[in-house]
Amino acid sequence: MDDIDAHRFDTQRAFAAHWRACLARSHATLQLFDPDFSVFPLGQSDVDAALRQFLAGGGSMQLAMHRGEHIAHAYPRFLRLLRDFGHRIACRATPPGLRQLTDSFCIGDRVHIVRRFHSDHLRGEAAFDAPAATEISLERFEAIWCEARPCLQPTTTGL
């Protein structure tokens, strides 16, 4: 993102603000990858409201992760969202061979991105209305998505 107007961040507050900005600017798709989503504010009431509006407006969301336990235990609002909009949200877990991946990102509408360089740290950057900034992460996401398997089903039976 060197030639792109990137907004750098290194705090939880700045990351959350950029992620919310990405969500607010997105209308059709959100593609997210993180080992466990523990840093994402998926359990916040304002995020729940924004995601409900996004999904009710026809948006779709794909989450790829190594482990879904954090979401299952810490984000009851997101689980309700998954139950209510299971037809618009897909969650997948990576196979053991991909568990070494440590970056974290959210891509909105293939033109906005919020990316942390390593999931253990908050240092990263965001770019909006910058399709070129999303290209590498989109390719990574698509490869991860193809290898991953469904997880976090809307109900106990997966229906």
3-state secondary structure 4-62: CCCEEECCHHHHHHHHHHHHHHCCCEEEEEECCCCCCCCCCHHHHHHHHHHHHCCCEEE
Per-residue model confidence (pLDDT) at position 32:
98
Domain membership flag for residue 157: no
Domain membership flag for residue 156: no
Domain membership flag for residue 14: yes
Per-residue model confidence (pLDDT) at position 95:
96
Query: CATH code at 91?
Result: 3.30.870.10
Domain membership flag for residue 154: no
Q: Which helix H or strand E contains 114, and what residues bound it?
A: strand 112-116
Domain membership flag for residue 155: no
Domain membership flag for residue 15: yes
Domain tally for the chain? Answer: 1
Mean pLDDT, consecutive 10-residue stretches, the chain (159 aa), reads: 78 96 98 96 96 98 96 95 96 95 96 95 96 96 96 63
Full residue range of the structural domain in which residue 19 is found: 7-102+110-149
Domain membership flag for residue 1: no
The model's pTM: 0.92
Domain membership flag for residue 121: yes
**Which structure tokens are listed for 78?**
């997101």
Per-residue model confidence (pLDDT) at position 159:
44
